[in-house]
Amino acid sequence: MQLRLSLRTAALTFAVLLPVSSSFVLAQAGGNAKPQSPAPQAPTPQTPSRGSEPISSLEPSGNDANPFPKPDPRNFTADSPTAETVSAFLHESWGYDTQRIWQVQAILKTAVPGVSKVVVLVAQKGAKAQVASLQFFTLPDGKHLIADDVLPFGPKPFAENRKLMQERATGPARGSASKDLLMVEFADFQCPHCKDAQPTIEKLMQEFPNARFVYENYPLVQIHSEAYKAAAYGVCVAKEGGNDAFFKYSAAVYDAQANLTPAGSDEVLKGAVTKAGLDPAKVAACSTSAETRSAIDASTKLAQEMNINQTPTLVVNGRALPLSSVPVETLVQLIHFQATEDGVASAPAK
């Protein structure tokens, strides 16, 4: 039995690899998977008829056996992307886990010009490594891939999103004034997972004191009737009282989230504004203004452009991480890795 990794999981979180019972090799010309149990051997790069050579992340060692079957050069029929580009993308996505190894197994032409099918084998280091397969399609622009969704691709897949966050994530902020290490949370005040994620945010702020943290509203109005109102109050609290007032308001709303209902939201929000040190009547009047709606809509549009489809999501230097499904220890590991890849110190110099 082979396991195909979800690209949403693989590209965004790359959680711990699940075991499979056997590896596979591709048919020499067609790219169809056939269950086999090849003897461990190091792949020998060969000159393929088209495209680029197979490439592996496994560093030769006298103690480690290569769990991957030898790639067939005839499975590299596409001119792009190159195996080097695919491996660079996987390094950006998986490099935080030093025990993870992979091999580019095929880059195949498809019936659509410029669209290539990529097959990668992946495993964890070990004497009894279990191999899984990852398949996706790269698009002609060289910047995106498709599996169960459209995701960033390339040697630096998060660079454009990082720039986008630096330019347009302008919500309430705390931490460093520098945007070199930028964490942007997209959240909904009525979302239970967002409330649960707040201790994780606090741990990350302690771990990365030189990071800048920005809160962006993403009210899921289809399922949370009071989320937009809570977001609107938050925008006005930040406008009237600044960042410190906003985060006091935010903490108070999450604390009282159980009562953030059609019947109780007015009292919850009034109480949260009071705890932030502001006038509830003034904030309530501000919350219905066109300027306030415009601010929330801009934040929502930014989330949609980032292809964020769940809350809470934390975007770290352009890399989107779903907070509710990634352990805090893995988040810390990922952030340290991403900062290093971006040439940013992940902690202040001692």
Cα distance between residue 138 and residue 140, in whole Å: 7
Quote the longest CA-to-CA distance of the chain: 73
Band of the pLDDT at 231, cuts 50, 70, 90?
A: very high
Cα distance between residue 199 and residue 40, in whole Å: 44
pLDDT above 70 for 53: no
Q: What is the pLDDT of residue 5?
A: 40
Terminal-to-terminal C-alpha distance of the chain = 50
Cα distance between residue 342 and residue 302, in whole Å: 22
**Token pair of 116, please?**
């290539």
Residue-averaged pLDDT of the chain: 84
Q: How is the chain split into domains, by residue range?
A: 7-156, 160-341
Q: What is the pLDDT of residue 150?
A: 86
- Averaged over 268-272, what is the pLDDT? 98
SS3 199: helix
Which secondary-structure segment (H or E) carries 175?
strand 173-175
* CATH number of this structure's domain 160-341, picked from the four choices 3.20.20.70, 3.40.30.10, 3.30.2130.30, 3.30.1330.60: 3.40.30.10
Phi-psi region of 235 (alpha: psi -120 to 50; beta: other; left: phi over 0): alpha
pLDDT above 80 for 267: yes
Cα distance between residue 324 and residue 312, in whole Å: 7
pTM for the model: 0.78
Neighbours of 120 (CB within 10 A): 26
Single-letter code of the amino acid located at 294: S
Neighbours of 161 (CB within 10 A): 19
The predicted-structure confidence for 131-173, as pLDDT tens digits, reads as follows 899 999 999 999 999 988 888 999 999 999 999 999 999 999 9
Band of the pLDDT at 274, cuts 50, 70, 90?
A: very high
Single-letter code of the amino acid located at 125: K
Greater pLDDT, 17 or 336 = 336
- Averaged over 223-246, what is the pLDDT? 98
pLDDT above 60 for 348: no
pLDDT above 50 for 331: yes
pLDDT above 80 for 219: yes
Q: What is the pLDDT of residue 63?
A: 46
Q: What is the pLDDT of residue 18?
A: 27
Q: What is the pLDDT of residue 339?
A: 95
- Averaged over 28-40, what is the pLDDT? 32
Question: E strands of 155-197, at which residues?
Answer: 173-175, 182-187
The predicted-structure confidence for 75-97, as pLDDT tens digits, reads as follows 999 999 999 999 999 999 999 99
pLDDT above 90 for 325: no
- Averaged over 50-64, what is the pLDDT? 52
Band of the pLDDT at 59, cuts 50, 70, 90?
A: low
- Averaged over 217-234, what is the pLDDT? 97
The predicted-structure confidence for 279-297, as pLDDT tens digits, reads as follows 999 999 999 999 999 999 9
Cα distance between residue 310 and residue 112, in whole Å: 31
Q: What is the pLDDT of residue 16?
A: 29
pLDDT above 60 for 206: yes
Asked if the bond preceding 312 is cis, omega within 30° of 0, the reply is yes
The predicted-structure confidence for 97-136, as pLDDT tens digits, reads as follows 988 999 999 999 999 999 999 999 999 887 677 889 999 9
Band of the pLDDT at 56, cuts 50, 70, 90?
A: low
- Averaged over 177-204, what is the pLDDT? 97
